[in-house]
Amino acid sequence: MGSVPQRKFKGPGTTSDPVNFSIPIDCTGVTRNVYMTFTDNANPANTGNTLPLTRDSTARGIGIQILPDSATGISSPIAFGPESGAINQQLVASLGRQSDIGRVDVKLRARYVQTEARVVPGTANGILTYTLSYQ
* HEC readout, the chain: CCCCCHHHCCCCCCECCCEEEEEEEEECCECCEEEEEEEECCCCCCCCCCECCCCCCCCECEEEEEEECHHHCCCCCCCCCCCCCCCCCEEEEECCCCECCEEEEEEEEEEEEECCCCCECCCCCCCEEEEEEEC
Mean pLDDT by 10 residues, the chain (135 residues): 94 97 78 77 92 97 93 82 60 51 82 98 95 75
Is there a domain that residue 91 lies in?
yes
Q: What pLDDT score does 40 carry? A: 93
Is there a domain that residue 83 lies in?
yes
| Residues 87-121: tens digit of each pLDDT | 444 555 554 544 556 777 888 999 999 999 999 99
Is there a domain that residue 95 lies in?
yes
Is there a domain that residue 71 lies in?
yes
Q: Tell me if 33 sits within 8 A of 95, measured CB to CB.
A: yes
CATH number at residue 35: 2.60.40.1090
Total of domains in the chain: 1
Q: What pLDDT score does 88 carry? A: 43
Is there a domain that residue 1 lies in?
no
* pTM of this structure: 0.85
Give the range of the structural domain holding residue 33, as residue numbers without chain letter. Answer: 6-134
